[in-house]
Structure 1
Amino acid sequence: MYVERLQLFIKNQQYFEMKQLENELSHLRNKIMEYQETVGLERIVWRKQGVVGYFSRVHFYEEDRVALFDFLYCLGLLPYVVNISWAKLSTEEQQKLEVVATKREGYVRYWPKKTQSLILKELNNDMAIPLEEGIVDLVSRWRALKRKYDQLEKQWALLRGGALKEWGERERKIQLPSGSLSVVRLQPQIHAVTLLKHLDISTLIRSGTINYDRILEFAAKGYFNKTDIDKFRKIKEISIRYILIEIQNEDKKHEYNKRKMDYFSRISRHL
């Protein structure tokens, strides 16, 4: 049922409508960002439209990986704060771990023909023409299109999820006049603790990356101070990112971050 509905979503041009909306939203976002750069305001709230735009600093760190891993290993915490990348394991290592690894579902992907991609590219070029609209009109238009896009994207995600369950473990590809549908299989997951039961610590170090949410959790539990970790990291680059978001969604983000910090705070108080 879902597979047929997914095909109908594409046949009825809803998929291409969604991608066109995505392109136009990107264009509108850039125009709004340009306005905000011009007026020199780091944050603007368009309360009537229910939208906020702001510039956010993103820090990129350079990590003394060897020293950091050694520090965590000496504390006996390394396996509990590391995420393993399956792709960094050798074929032989993957074969050894395959039985104990956790399978991941994957996802259904639509591969449009190149002719369809060209249509979207041409549309994007057309949108490069400056819009003769005021900033409030641009923001209002962005929000209206964002809601249309979200509805289509939600429907698309639902259909893809249902189609994946119908497909199950079968490798299948469906050819359509405009492209093809197939299942993309994701690489398995393996926990570092499980990996160490079968392979040595050098494999963990080679294939692992630090999970800093787990680092904060162990710092809150009193195993070490966050400043101990900061010694092994230094800021390499600061990038400025522009965020355009509905106020209600920003509130949800703040609430999520508050719950996370409250969790760390409760852990600290119970030491």
Structure 2
Amino acid sequence: MYLDRIRLFIQSGQYTEMKQLENELSCLRDRIMKYQEMAGLERIVWRKQGVVGYFTRVHLYEEDKASLFDFFHNSGLLPYVVNIQWAKLLPEEQLQLEGLVTKREGYVRFWPKKTKSLFVKKSNSDVANSLQAGILDLVSEWRVLKWKYDRVEKQWTTLRREALREWGERDRKIQLPSGSLSVVRLQPQIKAGTLLKHLDRSTLLRSGTVNYDKVIEFAAKGYFNKVDIDKYRKIKDISIRYILMELQNEIKKHEYFNRRLNSLSEMSRQM
């Protein structure tokens, strides 16, 4: 049933509409960002439109991974702060751990036949001309298109999720006039502690990455100080990212971070 509905979504032109909305939103975002750069403002709130735009700094770290793993091993926390990347395990290691993994569901993906009309983006001259239209008009247009895109994208996501259940374990491809549908299988998950029971620390070092959300939690609980970790990390680069979002979503984002901070503070008080 859902496979038929996902076919209809594509063949009726709704998928093309969604991708066109996505491209239009990207172009509008670029134009609004250009305005904000020219205005020299790090943050602008358009309250009437319910939209906020701001620049944020993203730190890229270089870490001494071996020393970090040694530190967590000596603290007895290594199995709890490391995530395993299944793709970095050798084939024979994957075979040995195959019966111990947690499988992940995957997702249905549409592979369209690329056409200019589906993936076209506006030129830089279009961006320059539209800046003269007025920033309030651009922000209002972005908000309206964002509502439309969110609605159709939510429908697309629901159809793909439900279609996956009908698909089952079969590895097949469904051909459509405008492209094809197939299932992308996600890599399985395995806990670092489980891996260490069957393989050595060198395998963990090769395939593991530090989960810094967990590290922050253990630091809040008093297992170590953040400065102990900073010794093994240094900023390699700083990039600037532009964020454009609805004001109500930014409020929800702040509420989430406040709950997170309160949770960490509570952990710290309990020690």
Find out whether 1:47 has 2:55 as its counterpart.
no
Whether the aligned pair in 1 keeps the contact of 2:2 and 2:162 (CA below 8 Å) is yes
Whether the aligned pair in 1 keeps the contact of 2:45 and 2:53 (CA below 8 Å) is yes
Work out the CA distance in 2 between the residues paired with 1:180 and 1:64. Answer: 44
- The aligned amino acid for 1:145 is L
Q: CA deviation at 1:252?
A: 0.9
Paired residues for 1:137-176 under 5 Å = 137-176=137-176
Work out the CA distance in 2 between the residues paired with 1:67 and 1:185. Answer: 34
Which consecutive unaligned segments of at least 5 residues does structure 2 have?
none
Partner of 2:215: 215
Q: CA deviation at 1:125?
A: 3.6
Work out the CA distance in 2 between the residues paired with 1:128 and 1:199. Answer: 58
Give CA deviations for 1:196-237 in whole Å, capped at 9, x if unaligned: 121111111111000000000110111100111011111111
Q: How many residues align?
A: 268
Secondary structure, in 3 states, of the residue corresponding to 1:45?
strand
Which consecutive unaligned segments of at least 5 residues does structure 1 have?
none
Q: Report percent identity of matched pairs.
A: 69
Change (3 A) 1:213 1:250: same
TM-score if structure 2 supplies the norm length? 0.96
Partner of 1:124: 121
Work out the CA distance in 2 between the residues paired with 1:126 and 1:106. Answer: 36
Q: CA deviation at 1:67?
A: 1.2
Find out whether 1:71 has 2:68 as its counterpart.
no
Q: CA deviation at 1:126?
A: 5.8
Work out the CA distance in 2 between the residues paired with 1:140 and 1:27. Answer: 14
Partner of 2:246: 246
Q: CA deviation at 1:120?
A: 2.6
Partner of 1:38: 38
Q: CA deviation at 1:172?
A: 2.2
Paired residues for 1:56-205 under 5 Å = 56-114=56-114, 116=115, 118-121=116-119, 123-125=120-122, 129=126, 130-131=129-130, 132-205=132-205
Task: Kindly report the root-mean-square deviation, in angstroms, between the aligned alpha carbons of the 2 structures.
Answer: 1.1
TM-score if structure 1 supplies the norm length? 0.96
Give runs of ≥4 in structure 1 deviating > 3 Å.
125-128
Secondary structure, in 3 states, of the residue corresponding to 2:187?
coil
Work out the CA distance in 2 between the residues paired with 1:2 and 1:213. Answer: 37
Q: CA deviation at 1:62?
A: 0.8
Work out the CA distance in 1 between the residues paired with 2:176 and 2:145. Answer: 28
Q: CA deviation at 1:171?
A: 1.5
Secondary structure, in 3 states, of the residue corresponding to 2:121?
helix
- The aligned amino acid for 1:207 is S
Q: CA deviation at 1:38?
A: 0.7
Work out the CA distance in 2 between the residues paired with 1:111 and 1:120. Answer: 12
Whether the aligned pair in 2 keeps the contact of 1:27 and 1:128 (CA below 8 Å) is no
Whether the aligned pair in 1 keeps the contact of 2:27 and 2:122 (CA below 8 Å) is no
Q: CA deviation at 1:261?
A: 1.0
Partner of 2:226: 226
Work out the CA distance in 2 between the residues paired with 1:186 and 1:127. Answer: 38
- The aligned amino acid for 2:121 is N
Whether the aligned pair in 2 keeps the contact of 1:69 and 1:78 (CA below 8 Å) is yes
Whether the aligned pair in 2 keeps the contact of 1:27 and 1:127 (CA below 8 Å) is no
Whether the aligned pair in 2 keeps the contact of 1:20 and 1:120 (CA below 8 Å) is yes
Work out the CA distance in 2 between the residues paired with 1:143 and 1:128. Answer: 23
Give CA deviations for 1:12-49 in whole Å, capped at 9, x if unaligned: 11101100010110000010001001111110000000
Work out the CA distance in 1 between the residues paired with 2:125 and 2:220. Answer: 49
Find out whether 1:22 has 2:22 as its counterpart.
yes
Which stretch of structure 1 is more off in the superposition, 164-173 or 54-63?
A: 164-173
Secondary structure, in 3 states, of the residue corresponding to 1:76?
coil
